Structure 1
């Protein structure tokens, strides 16, 4: 068990999402950076579907009620365990009574706390993710508050080095796969979508200009500020299904990128769709930061997805080797 000692708004329990219910209007939810949560679960020996805590407002502080293995991944929040610095993307063991503190990251937006056994709350429609809009999942469908006590599930016996261990962050390990910032703008790959050509010359400006993430952005979608783009003719569209990564353009001409709590349907024209393997990077983009979209092909999207899967498998293999080597000497 852990106890939340201090937290800000918007910090929630999340897993990898709630697929299969969009047809009845239920959004998928789940971690904005699913890669960080996946790696955290691997480091503490959890199943892929285990829930953790998504922290996006800081400082955040929790107290361990019992000896527990944990991992901190995602944004480097300068974590401290009883005042001792922890490296980013790190797994360690805490004793009962110890306090973990997470501070505002210098870059990136969200940190993930994973606990051996996972955060044990009742699943709703197959997921423990919090739906703030729906008011269900997670802890009573709400954000975490100081004083909340969270149970943990049954944990697999885990052997960790005395001072813990970590992995190379994906932004470094995959630096040849994921483009660095272009003139201060985060480069995000996307595929042209159904109504792309309806924007005529403005479609080209969508790809060439930088877009700023507006303060009106949240887990549902990122509203982008920039030189507006408009279709060359007014098109009457029926509402259609949307998923995370879809880029829609409302009448005002400033795009909206659907995110983890994406609407299940919408009638705005779609100009592009972010490739799935780049969604974790978009999930770490901060309000006020710049984005630049670059067109990708289906072949490029598959190649990036393959590189990401290889990275995850390498982390999984390393975690097994570490645990196995230590178990042999236990």
Structure 2
């Protein structure tokens, strides 16, 4: 079973939860930029583990499915069609064999996730199927999809109630809790060099508005706005970094490290974005506003715990509903 890439989209990569535990050898985490959207897409098609899904950026790909398949699309709202049939987001959809799925532009947000039942079954590298664009790890040496690629799909039990036309299950998820339409402020924890900012820069970081820069990517979201300055120049050695680390390069425009963050960095670390808000920043597209509000480690940990509990509960409810509908066997 496989899906053939007819058009690759703007930046489409295979992602799972990420390649963790290898920082000591210089290999970063990578993985889905919006982990809740990735998890829910997989849950909707009955995947129960670490299956890889397709992360699409701003403009999605066009794929032809060789065999019948169940798919689901979550994350940023994106137009999806098979011939003259529009497919809903946040719902499980059945595609007959030979279907050509066209994913269009995203009206809002930056990243959508396409999961297929059985997962995209490419060979894992260091325990993950995620593509790392900079390290060259993953499918096709970590590069984005190209026209002509053929993506293997894991084998599963026979489809339930197959049809000759695309169809969606009669229920879908409410995206509102999982997609930050209002673009509310993000929680920022104090960084080891925040006190070295001058007074105006500390004020701007905590209460001002930045914009996502056009040079943003999976490595970092670059923030345009007022130029931040240190009270005095700093000579630093490289230290450990991770997704969410906010650095201040010589340009004075802060950068927030994202999924493909390097494992070390030498710029001043003026903050750490709360992990619970990383997916929200990942969905901000170039030009979107970014505001920070300071919080504590305890507050950040509590928000992450509550979000993960809600996500675990919803995934269990989805599994139960799919079993009730005959889509899964218990």
After TM superposition, the score normalised by the length of structure 2 is: 0.91
Please tell me whether residue 188 in structure 1 is matched to residue 192 in structure 2: no
Runs of 5+ unmatched residues, structure 2: none
The Cα offsets for residues 217-251 of structure 1, whole Å up to 9 and x where unpaired, read as 11111111111111112222110010000000012
Q: Give distance in 1, aligned partners of 2:252 and 2:46.
A: 46
Query: Residue 329 and residue 262 in structure 1: after superposition, are their counterparts in 2 closer, same or farther (change >3 A)?
Result: closer
Question: How many residues in Structure 1 have an aligned counterpart in Structure 2?
Answer: 322
Q: Give distance in 1, aligned partners of 2:227 and 2:243.
A: 22
The Cα offsets for residues 81-101 of structure 1, whole Å up to 9 and x where unpaired, read as 332122221211111011211
Q: Give distance in 2, aligned partners of 1:228 and 1:113.
A: 38
Most deviating of 23-32 and 114-123: 23-32
Instruction: Describe how 1:139-288 pairs up with structure 2 within 5 A.
Output: 139-155=140-156, 163-164=168-169, 165-169=171-175, 172-173=176-177, 180-181=182-183, 186-201=184-199, 202-288=201-287
Query: Residue 287 and residue 328 in structure 1: after superposition, are their counterparts in 2 closer, same or farther (change >3 A)?
Result: closer
1:158 to partner: Cα distance: 6.7
After TM superposition, the score normalised by the length of structure 1 is: 0.91
Aligned match of 2:98: 97
Residues 80 and 88 of structure 2 are in contact (CA less than 8 Å); yes or no, is this contact kept in structure 1? Answer: yes
Q: Give distance in 2, aligned partners of 1:67 and 1:251.
A: 53
Instruction: Describe how 1:111-126 pairs up with structure 2 within 5 A.
Output: 111-126=112-127
3-state SS of 2:92 partner? strand
The Cα offsets for residues 288-310 of structure 1, whole Å up to 9 and x where unpaired, read as 21100111122321232133223
Query: Residue 314 and residue 54 in structure 1: after superposition, are their counterparts in 2 closer, same or farther (change >3 A)?
Result: same
3-state SS of 1:100 partner? strand
3-state SS of 1:227 partner? coil
3-state SS of 2:88 partner? coil
The Cα offsets for residues 119-143 of structure 1, whole Å up to 9 and x where unpaired, read as 1111111111111112221233211
1:57 to partner: Cα distance: 4.4
Q: Give distance in 2, aligned partners of 1:101 and 1:206.
A: 41
Residues 10 and 143 of structure 1 are in contact (CA less than 8 Å); yes or no, is this contact kept in structure 2? Answer: yes
Q: Cα RMSD between the aligned structures? A: 2.2
Query: Residue 252 and residue 78 in structure 1: after superposition, are their counterparts in 2 closer, same or farther (change >3 A)?
Result: same
The Cα offsets for residues 262-306 of structure 1, whole Å up to 9 and x where unpaired, read as 111111111111111111111111012110011112232123213
Q: Give distance in 2, aligned partners of 1:329 and 1:290.
A: 42
The Cα offsets for residues 178-199 of structure 1, whole Å up to 9 and x where unpaired, read as 7934xxxx42111111111111
Q: Give distance in 2, aligned partners of 1:60 and 1:328.
A: 27
